[in-house]
């Protein structure tokens, strides 16, 4: 390969994390318990019995971490605010100590010339709100709007870029249908209702923040994946339509077209009562946004298996699609077993550009879990992650060449962290964290990313 694959001037080079996955200090600084504190304590819910109680201790080490980011040359850092740190009870008075932590973090980033990007909800609902019904209850949407306004009011002088929710599909369907994420509910109708209330929460928060001033660049982070039928047959095509519907379009359509997709409503057959969503809700959900954050990890290849659903095993997160098989291919995989397919990223970005136009896009998460181990010299050679990032950045570049308004890329993740139900076994960081000592070691991928950032792109032609 010769030449270089350069990104446009102003392209944002970032890294992302989330509060519960890295902060620790779960009972410090006035933080209240979240649904993940409760869930992780239940035996068998999280691999190894791990919890986020200490995590990467970022709450105490944030200065060291921002210095690390500066050393990498990051232009932006996406982090989430822990709702129970700001409002321990999920409503009522804010905890000044909680807000101060995020002010100090933002200041430290700004001192290093790194743009703070805030996500308001990355799955750590205050337990007190779960006790009142959580996302199954409409009341939670209103509480989220109050919380969003409080955080925006406190940080708006420091933070320009805001996203409301991270991956509402996971919060709704992993949390309330499969029950493999907090709060561990296993009821399809509740999952669909939770999805709607999450979207209403997004809409009401957007309204509340814009009522304070016209300042925020506002968006949402969706996990989106292309869905490909395993064959040319009509049954597999229909399986792909259904998975695309309940995974991608259930969120994209209300946000960017103002209504739930008719075919998905029909597939869901009245579950969750979505067809009764009123005009007010839909108008709030569809209020114009400034950006869409795309979290991309893989492509789904699906086949219809009418002889299913299988008996036994945990309930499926794929509501109304329990008869769909996710077909494995011989593509290489990460250590989490996720197939690696960079071509899904440009395909997805081009689709968003064509079907949901005029949205500035950012890849707000993309990365890979490997079982990294430091070598005898204390270095962490992670060639597989470098290949992963290189391949996906090339896909992002192809999308830009194809006319997509893609403005930035955030690697998931800056640090090894608490990977939800997988605990600490799965390492997504470009910086290795030795959890017993909390020592940070930039992996080879961090050095590689630093070079890409400095060059404004990749070595070798597209």
Q: How far is the CB of 135 from ligand IFM (least distance, A)?
A: 17
Give the residues lining the site for ligand IFM (CB under 6 A).
18, 21, 167, 295, 365, 412, 419, 428
Give bridge partners of residue 412 from the DSSP assignment. 16
Q: Are 326 and 332 in contact (CB under 8 A)?
A: no
Gyration radius of the chain's alpha carbons? 21
CA distance linking residue 413 with residue 431, whole number of Å: 8
CA distance linking residue 228 with residue 208, whole number of Å: 38
Q: Which is nearer to ligand IFM, 260 or 300 (CB)?
A: 300
Q: Using alpha carbons, select from 154, 138, 155 the residue that is nearest to residue 278.
A: 138
Q: How far is the CB of 335 from ligand IFM (least distance, A)?
A: 12
| Residues annotated as catalytic (active site), given as ranges | 167, 365
- H or E segment to which residue 216 belongs: none
Q: Which is nearer to ligand IFM, 225 or 346 (CB)?
A: 225
The percent helix, strand, coil of the chain (3-state, each to 5) is 45, 15, 40
- H or E segment to which residue 144 belongs: helix 139-155
Token duo for residue 208: 């509340």
**Integer angstrom CA distances of residue 34 from 126, 130, 167:** 4, 9, 17
Token duo for residue 100: 């101060």
Q: Which is nearer to ligand IFM, 35 or 265 (CB)?
A: 35
Q: Which is nearer to ligand IFM, 52 or 179 (CB)?
A: 52
Q: Which is nearer to ligand IFM, 347 or 419 (CB)?
A: 419
Using a 10 angstrom Cβ sphere, with 0-12 exposed, 13-18 middle and 19 or more buried, the burial of residue 232 is exposed
Q: How far is the CB of 322 from ligand IFM (least distance, A)?
A: 23
Q: How far is the CB of 274 from ligand IFM (least distance, A)?
A: 24
Q: Which is nearer to ligand IFM, 167 or 323 (CB)?
A: 167
CA distance linking residue 176 with residue 271, whole number of Å: 13
CA triplet 416, 177, 180: central angle to 5 degrees? 30
Q: Is the peptide bond before 413 cis (omega within 30 degrees of 0)?
A: yes
CA distance linking residue 438 with residue 459, whole number of Å: 33
């Amino acid at each position: 390969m010769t030449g270089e694959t350069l990104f446009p001037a102003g392209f944002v080079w970032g890294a992302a994390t989330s509060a519960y996955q890295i902060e620790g200090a779960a009972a410090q600084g006035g933080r209240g318990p979240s649904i993940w504190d409760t869930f992780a304590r239940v035996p068998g819910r999280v691999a190894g019995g791990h919890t986020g109680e200490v995590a990467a201790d970022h709450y105490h080490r944030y200065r060291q971490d921002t210095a690390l980011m500066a050393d990498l040359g990051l232009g932006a850092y996406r982090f989430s605010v822990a709702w129970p740190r700001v409002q321990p009870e999920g409503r009522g008075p804010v905890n000044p100590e909680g807000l101060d932590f995020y002010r100090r973090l933002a200041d430290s980033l700004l001192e290093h010339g790194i743009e703070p990007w805030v996500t308001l909800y990355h799955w750590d609902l205050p337990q007190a709100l779960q006790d009142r019904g959580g996302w199954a209850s409409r009341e939670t949407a209103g509480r989220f709007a109050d919380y969003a306004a409080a955080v925006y009011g406190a940080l708006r002088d420091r933070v320009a870029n805001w996203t409301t929710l991270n991956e509402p599909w996971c919060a709704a369907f992993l949390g309330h249908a499969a029950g493999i994420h907090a709060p561990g509910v296993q009821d399809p109708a509740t999952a669909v209702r939770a999805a709607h209330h999450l979207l209403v929460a997004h809409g009401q928060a957007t309204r509340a923040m814009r009522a304070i001033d016209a300042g925020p660049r506002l968006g949402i982070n969706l996990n989106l994946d292309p869905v490909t039928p395993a064959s040319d047959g009509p049954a597999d095509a229909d399986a792909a339509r259904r998975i695309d519907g309940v995974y991608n379009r259930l969120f994209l359509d209300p946000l960017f077209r103002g209504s739930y997709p008719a075919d998905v409503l029909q597939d869901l057959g009245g579950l969750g009562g979505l067809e009764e969503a009123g005009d007010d809700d839909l108008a709030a959900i569809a209020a114009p946004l400034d950006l869409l954050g795309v979290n991309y990890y893989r492509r789904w290849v699906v086949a219809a298996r009418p002889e299913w659903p299988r008996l036994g095993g945990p309930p499926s997160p794929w509501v109304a699609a329990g008869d769909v098989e996710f077909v494995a291919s011989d593509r290489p995989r990460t250590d989490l077993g996720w197939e690696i397919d960079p071509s899904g990223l440009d395909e997805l970005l081009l689709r968003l550009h064509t079907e949901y136009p005029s949205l500035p896009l950012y890849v707000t998460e993309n990365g890979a879990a490997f079982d990294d181990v430091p070598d005898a010299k204390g270095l962490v050679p992670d060639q597989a992650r470098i290949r992963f990032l290189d391949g996906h950045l090339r896909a992002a570049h192809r999308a830009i060449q194809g006319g997509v308004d893609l403005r930035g890329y955030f690697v998931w993740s800056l640090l090894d962290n608490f990977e939800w139900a997988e605990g600490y076994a799965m390492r997504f960081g470009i910086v290795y964290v030795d959890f017993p000592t909390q020592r940070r070691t930039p992996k080879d991928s961090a050095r590689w990313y630093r070079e890409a950032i400095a060059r404004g792109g990749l070595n070798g032609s597209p």
